[in-house]
Chains A and B, each alone.
Chain A
Amino acid sequence: MNTAGHSKAFTKLLLHLHPKRVNAQSIKFTRTFGLGGISSLFFVILFASGMLLRFAYVPSVKGAYDSIVELQNEILFGQLLRNIHYWSGMGLVLVSFLHLIRVFYSQSIYHDRRKNWFYGLLLFFLVVFSNFTGYLLPWDQLSYWAVTIMANMLTVIPFVGDFLADMIRGSNEVSETTLLRFYHFHTGLLPLLMVAFMSVHFWLIRKSKGVTVANMENRETVPTSPHLLYKEMFVALIVIISLLVLSTLVNAPLQEKANPLISPNPSKAPWYFMGVQELLLHLHPIFAICVIPSAVIFFLIYTPYMKFSDLNVGVWFNSEKGKKLTIFSIIFGILFTLSITLFSEYWWNGTQLMPNVPSLISTGLLLALFYMIPASVFLYFLKIKYQASKIDLVMACFTIIMMAYLVMTIVGTFFRGEGMSLFV
């Protein structure tokens, strides 16, 4: 019996998540920036700290808020534990989003990686839903009203909206049932699903022979240990140290205990949903919650199934021209979204300008067209002036969507004050 091998069972298992040898090009830090790895590190930290938090937390309307206060004030390192969990949760949303962007721009979602892009999107949805279900658990004013807003957003969806919102809340408003439900989603079902889908996600990377590289033929391999392993450990160390420093210095927010009678002014959704909330301030709810998000999700799922003639798998932005066009799209996306935000805030009041037209058209369709027509003209301009190919245009589209969301998130988070008015 190989006792030496058995005694190292755990280390060996971890090592076998990697192949024995890896492509030298693929382990350059700038190839992936370690974003996928950092995401899984955050997941492990969240899992460990979350398991510990369960010992202190009481999932009931009476006990939840007080148990958090007690954790912070009475238990040794309780506040630090909560901060670590909170900041890794925020970190996970941010890093997995960057990971999604990296994979898109380095053309790593086509051919045999289509399926993995789909599992990745699913995982990203689970990450956001986990973060959101965790948001309610402290049961303070911030979380109570953020969840009330989000659940009511669902009711706008035609036919199934009310059913979905009631299913999430378990009653007609955010209540003890909601809290218990979110607790079990957050600490049970969602982590379990994520482990399952992460396994598939990792396995599919192995199946497609590692991460994409620009030049697949030029394969010069090096042993995983130590070459890749040391890099991973170095990145992990940096992340853990930064997380500890941040968690020591900045406390996770905790407002007054939840009060269903008074909404704080302003009431804002969690920052990753601020873009949607900002959209709601301008657009008719059916467009803001139903039409536009579905279109974006469809775009993300459908893109790898489109037929392209000149894919350059593993090359950032496809080509030098693609890089230039992406920079143009970033500039266009930021400036145009900003101007249309101000336009609809100060000048375009659909219901007052056209009182006889249904608001679905005046504040919905028309405003959406005000955005889409110039954006299409811009894409057409890229096509004519720079002979942009289909893949360039798809990337430009993706860039404009990302920039629009970024701008709306920043405007909503930092520039809206009392009564959600701009620049207060």
Chain B
Amino acid sequence: MRLFEQKINRRNFIKRTIQAILSLNVLYIFSSLLSNKKEGNTLDEWYEAGDINNFKNNHIYPYSSAHFYLSKIENGGMLAISTKCTHLGCAVQFNQSKDMFVCPCHASAFSKYGEVVSPPATRALDIYPISIQDNKVMVNVTKPIKRQKYEASQLTYA
């Protein structure tokens, strides 16, 4: 292309250098203005989901304001599953009759383990770390864990 055919002489070199430095400068200022705002607040990191004895096996408990579902499976293992569909970020809802998480935007469906049952989503729903302290189930809602599929090691037991 023309751009590269142009001969580089001293004048061009200096002009290009100044242009490059200036545009890098603008780019840097702009990207730091638009960078992610870090919130220093760590107090609400752990969300208290309730007493361990209140949860029945093979049940799904919604915590929509904290953007997760607590799924307790047959053997008592627990998963805190994010409501954010891994396809495009819509809020999935648990459909009781189908026993699946269903996304209203593009009809992706996930099992109660968060595994993909039908596309377009390609990976399982994110999970949040669970910690059990004094019989209270605590969920760390600030640290979503990305995963490809469900594995037994992801379960937390009382």
Whether A267 sits at the interface, judged by CB under 8 Å, is yes
Instruction: Point out the residues of chain B lying under 8 angstroms from A173, CB to CB.
Output: 84, 89
Whether B19 sits at the interface, judged by CB under 8 Å, is no
How distant is the Cα of A228 from the Cα of B103 in the complex, in angstroms? Answer: 54
How distant is the Cα of A353 from the Cα of B36 in the complex, in angstroms? Answer: 41
Q: A145-B105, A149-B105, A281-B106 are in contact. Are A261 and B65 (CB under 8 A)?
A: yes
How distant is the Cα of A280 from the Cα of B105 in the complex, in angstroms? Answer: 11
- Give a binary string over B61-102; 1 marks a CB under 8 Å from any A CB, 0 the rest: 000110100000000000000001001111101000000001
Whole-angstrom distance from the CB of B86 to the nearest CB of chain A? 9
How distant is the Cα of A263 from the Cα of B106 in the complex, in angstroms? Answer: 11
How distant is the Cα of A149 from the Cα of B36 in the complex, in angstroms? Answer: 19
Whether A351 sits at the interface, judged by CB under 8 Å, is yes
How distant is the Cα of A133 from the Cα of B64 in the complex, in angstroms? Answer: 27
Whether A266 sits at the interface, judged by CB under 8 Å, is yes
Whether A186 sits at the interface, judged by CB under 8 Å, is no
Interchain CB contact under 8 A, A171 and B105: no
- Give a binary string over A249-270; 1 marks a CB under 8 Å from any B CB, 0 the rest: 0000000000011111111000
Interchain CB contact under 8 A, B35 and A167: yes
Instruction: Point out the residues of chain B lying under 8 angstroms from A285, CB to CB.
Output: 87, 120, 122
How distant is the Cα of A266 from the Cα of B91 in the complex, in angstroms? Answer: 12
Instruction: Point out the residues of chain B lying under 8 angstroms from A151, CB to CB.
Output: 89
Interchain CB contact under 8 A, A261 and B88: no
Q: Give A366-424 interface residues, CB cut-off 8 Å to B.
A: 419-421
Interchain CB contact under 8 A, A181 and B34: yes
Q: Give A151-198 interface residues, CB cut-off 8 Å to B.
A: 151-153, 155, 166-167, 170-173, 177, 181
Whether A60 sits at the interface, judged by CB under 8 Å, is no
- Please classify how large the interface on chain A is, using the bins under 10, 10 to 19, 20 to 34, 35 or more: 35 or more
**Contacting A419 at CB < 8 Å: which of B35, B88, B107, B119?**
B107
Interchain CB contact under 8 A, B34 and A284: no
- Please classify how large the interface on chain B is, using the bins under 10, 10 to 19, 20 to 34, 35 or more: 20 to 34
Q: A148-B89, A171-B36, A181-B34 are in contact. Are A264 and B104 (CB under 8 A)?
A: yes
Interchain CB contact under 8 A, A145 and B90: yes
Give the nearest-CB partner of B1 in chain A.
Answer: A305
Which of A171, A263, A281 neighbours the largest number of chain B CB atoms within 10 Å of its CB? A263
Instruction: Point out the residues of chain A lying under 8 angstroms from B119, CB to CB.
Output: 349-351, 359, 363
Whole-angstrom distance from the CB of B102 to the nearest CB of chain A? 7
Interchain CB contact under 8 A, B37 and A153: no
Interchain CB contact under 8 A, A152 and B89: yes
How distant is the Cα of A166 from the Cα of B90 in the complex, in angstroms? Answer: 16
Interchain CB contact under 8 A, A263 and B104: yes
Whole-angstrom distance from the CB of A109 to the nearest CB of chain B? 16
Instruction: Point out the residues of chain B lying under 8 angstroms from A153, CB to CB.
Output: 88
How distant is the Cα of A277 from the Cα of B87 in the complex, in angstroms? Answer: 11
Whole-angstrom distance from the CB of A163 to the nearest CB of chain B? 9
Q: A145-B90, A151-B89, A152-B88 are in contact. Are A284 and B122 (CB under 8 A)?
A: yes
Interchain CB contact under 8 A, A148 and B36: no
Instruction: Point out the residues of chain B lying under 8 angstroms from A359, CB to CB.
Output: 119, 122
Interchain CB contact under 8 A, B106 and A420: yes
Interchain CB contact under 8 A, B37 and A177: yes
Whole-angstrom distance from the CB of A424 to the nearest CB of chain B? 11
Instruction: Point out the residues of chain A lying under 8 angstroms from B89, CB to CB.
Output: 148-149, 151-152, 155, 173
Beyond A166-B35, A280-B88, 9 extra complex contacts between A and B, CB < 8 Å:
A151-B89, A167-B35, A260-B91, A280-B106, A284-B120, A359-B119, A359-B122, A419-B107, A420-B107
A residues sitting closer than 8 Å to B (CB atoms) are: 145, 148-149, 151-153, 155, 166-167, 170-173, 177, 181, 260-267, 277, 280-281, 284-285, 305, 349-351, 359, 363, 419-421
Task: List 29 A-B residue pairs with CB atoms under 8 Å apart, sorted by A's residue number.
Answer: A148-B88, A149-B88, A149-B89, A151-B89, A166-B35, A167-B35, A167-B36, A171-B37, A172-B36, A173-B84, A177-B37, A261-B64, A261-B67, A261-B91, A262-B93, A263-B105, A266-B105, A267-B90, A280-B88, A280-B106, A281-B107, A284-B122, A305-B1, A349-B119, A359-B122, A363-B119, A419-B104, A420-B106, A420-B107
Q: Which 10 pairs across A and B sit closest by C-beta, in order of nearness?
A: A152-B89, A265-B104, A263-B90, A152-B88, A267-B105, A261-B64, A149-B88, A263-B91, A166-B36, A263-B104
